[in-house]
Structure 1
């Protein structure tokens, strides 16, 4: 079983400033995406996939897939740390890594479409939240990926940053896919 990430941290040789670079780079990604989305004139042109009725349905289904794999991420993280019944199955680490990869890959075409075709939208509270959370998701994801290889991090860092990544992605999903399904119905 892996050590408890919420236990008192072992004294570290890595200074607390080691998180400064990942945090600054993540903040830079968030701001850069927001600025690009705001200043780039939306083209309205999107790529559609065969089998879907339009680009919007592609986005909501890819977003729903990403949200599903994000839930798998949380469950596999809990399993890795023995928080589901006190055992840590050997497959939990692989499930965690692969569900994270798939979730991220599903978000990329959605983000490209949103930024390129639609831009940073603020027509109402839902679209403003969606745009801001989308930019924030990629920034905090960057922070998590840059923090992963840092030895000696306090045990709480990755669970907290991972929780923020999950929360941001679910917020994006709620303000897009769930909104779409409840407004227009479930279509492909």
Structure 2
């Protein structure tokens, strides 16, 4: 490969991330604007099997948090960094399940509470929630793209993992250490 062709291919590879990142950014903004413009209902949504919405949100987020670690370990295995083979299906299904666990939590947050900014912890949590869904969207849109740079999926996955850990710290961890462990 010539010296001119290699930078051109790298630019073209990085450009394949442009559309997924733009759509992900749009998702972030739309969630934030909706959360801010929507009048919060204050009513709990779907706390079936739990004593209330905060325990429901805390436990579902904790489940997603645990599955995020499965995502990291299985991704490292798929990229040959662990020396053990974990089937790719483990990565796919743990990611799907983690995402599904976050949906009722996000729905409750947006519908009942909206985007809040008066308390720093809650502001950070609201921003991380919007960021998580945006970066998750970008990652899912980038997966089937041809010519994606080798660093693309690991960076997007790491950002989604980091956002989910931040969400857990600003919600479930806060709840368990401030309110207590309850169902």
TM-score, with structure 2 as normaliser: 0.91
Query: Which moved further from structure 2: 68-77 or 41-50?
Result: 41-50
Corresponding residue for residue 78 of structure 1 = 76
Q: Give a deviation string over 1:87-110, Cα, whole Å, max 9, x none.
A: 3x1x43111000000000000110
Residues 82, 17 of structure 1: alpha-carbon distance in 2 compared, 3 angstrom cutoff: closer
Residues 13, 39 of structure 1: alpha-carbon distance in 2 compared, 3 angstrom cutoff: closer
Higher helix share: 2
Corresponding residue for residue 187 of structure 1 = 182
From 100, 103, 116, give the equivalent of 1:105.
100
Number of aligned positions between the proteins: 177
Q: Distance in 1 between matches of 2:77 and 2:131?
A: 27
Deviation of the 1:154 alpha carbon: 1.2
Q: Is the 8 A contact 1:140 1:165 kept in 2?
A: yes
Query: Which moved further from structure 2: 75-84 or 55-64?
Result: 75-84
From 8, 30, 54, give the equivalent of 1:32.
30
From 50, 53, 64, give the equivalent of 1:66.
64
Q: Is the 8 A contact 2:58 2:175 kept in 1?
A: yes
Corresponding residue for residue 57 of structure 1 = 55
Runs of 4+ in 1 over 4 A off after TM superposition: 11-15
1:155 maps to 2:154: no
In the alignment, structure 2 segments of 5+ residues that lack a partner are 1-8
Deviation of the 1:15 alpha carbon: 4.4
Give the 3-state SS of the residue equivalent to 1:95 in structure 2.
helix
TM-score, with structure 1 as normaliser: 0.89
**1:92-131 equivalences in 2 (<5 Å):** 92-131=87-126
